[in-house]
Structure 1
Amino acid sequence: MSSPASPRLKPLPWVLFGSRWLQVPLYLGLIVAQCVYVVQFMFELYHLVFEMKQFNETSIMLSVLGLIDVVMISNLLIMVIVGGYETFVSRLRLEGHPDEPEWLSHVNANVLKVKLATAIIGISSIHLLKTFINAANLDHKTMMWQVIIHVTFLASALSIAWIDRIMSPGTLASMRHE
């Protein structure tokens, strides 16, 4: 038995639907950006390992937090690249592959937004921790603005998650029956 043929689209819908492929160079650019972060990580790791004797405990902690920051940004890039491609361009068809990320099986635009928001909060938390560790060398106004920005990220993420929850079909149905 042959598979059913794909329906033919008229020219305008075909162009509109096909325009999603214009995102591919953007995702490839993010892969290049991730390569830059790998190089940055290696430089920071080299600096930490080979100049360790010049550091005090606080400097080592700040350097390690810098490494964690690079890793978290790299994780954010992977979520955007893989999740964005899967959601907006084309299926990756990784079902059953042993390396398929768990979150990819249920990713959609709303899930991706919530995951990105929480990743940004994690990155912001690392920056805030670095700020507090280095507080003696920073202006109080700078620290205040970093806290305000972090709280804004938290409020935004909570809002996105709340909106996603009330907009999901199962939640709306259960709210009506309560």
Structure 2
Amino acid sequence: MIDRSAPPIERSDAKGPGPASRTLAGFIFASRWLQAPLYLGLIIAQAVYVVLFFVELWHLIETAIISGHISETDVMLSVLALIDIVMIANLLIMVIIGGYETFVSKIRVTGHHDEPDWLSHVNANLLKVKLAISIISISSIHLLKTFIEVGRMDGGIVTDASGTVIYSSDGVMWEVLIHLAFIVSALALAWIDRMSKDPHEKHDTATRPATVAPAATAAAAPAAAYAPAETGTGEYVTVRIPAGAPLPDGAEVVR
């Protein structure tokens, strides 16, 4: 039962959050900068990988050229180790730049000739897919190194000079299974990213406004215009007409 004797509820005409709410929201939004030191730490880790790369490269040069006691298989394994370091460095760059762009602050390099192609449309889902692909590439390098080593497998194991077991049949099987798990995970992430997109978001010529040629070249190029569709849904269709021709009824030139 409604108590009609109660005083009416007074409503404020003020719109938007109050000062306390805005301050709290600003503080929470500014907390994203706590992630900045994490990306700085990844930059230091990448510097360590740069040093490690040149150490491995010097070891390869010293063994192959100076000593002259190295086989083709050893050269291939050393080169794969260098490629592995480069792939991890690429992964670090993707995490540093993409993560900072997505979760901390925009990196304003639009128009720069060195701007990565993926940076203009990076988001959390795209970043996860690219990271998964990078992890698969790194796993492939490790698996290739394993396949080269198991070529000298004896009795189901591979040992080093000191007799320590470095590869076994069970270990190789688990490496293959883990690699397949990475592939399945990447496919699942790509599928989830595809399913999460708006199905009405279509980038075709029927929904994008057309570009009109500049006035200086308008006589030589066809003009572009769009008019309301006959369906009455408020959508637009692209209509291309020769330059200088009259526009159809209800059409307007896109500037």
Tell whether the structures are fold-level matches, with TM greater than 0.5.
Answer: yes
1:66 pairs with 2:81? yes
Pick from 137, 140, 145 the counterpart of residue 130 of structure 1.
Answer: 145
Question: How many residues end up aligned between the 2 structures?
Answer: 166
- CA deviations 1:61-97 (Å, max 9, x no partner) are 0000000000000000000000000000000011001
Q: Pick 1 or 2: higher relative contact order, CA cutoff 8 A, min separation 6.
A: 1
- Structure 2 match to 1:49: 61
1:40 pairs with 2:52? yes
Point out the structure with max Rg over C-alpha: 2
Question: What are the within-5 Å matches in structure 2 for residues 117-156 of structure 1?
Answer: 117-135=132-150, 136=153, 137=158, 138-156=167-185
1:18 pairs with 2:25? no
- Structure 2 match to 1:97: 112
What is the TM-score of this pair, normalised by structure 2? 0.63
- Structure 1 match to 2:9: none
- Structure 2 match to 1:163: 192
RMSD: 1.5
- CA deviations 1:43-78 (Å, max 9, x no partner) are 000001121122101111000000000000000000
Distance 1:14 1:28 in 2: 24
Percent of residue pairs identical: 60
Q: Which runs of 4+ in 1 moved over 4 A?
A: none
Higher helix share: 1
Tell me the CA shift for residue 15 of structure 1.
Answer: 1.8
Distance 1:45 1:96 in 2: 36
Structure 2 residues without counterparts, runs of 5 or longer: 1-18, 159-166, 203-255
What is the TM-score of this pair, normalised by structure 1? 0.89
Question: Contact between 1:166 and 1:172, CA under 8 Å: does it hold in 2?
Answer: no
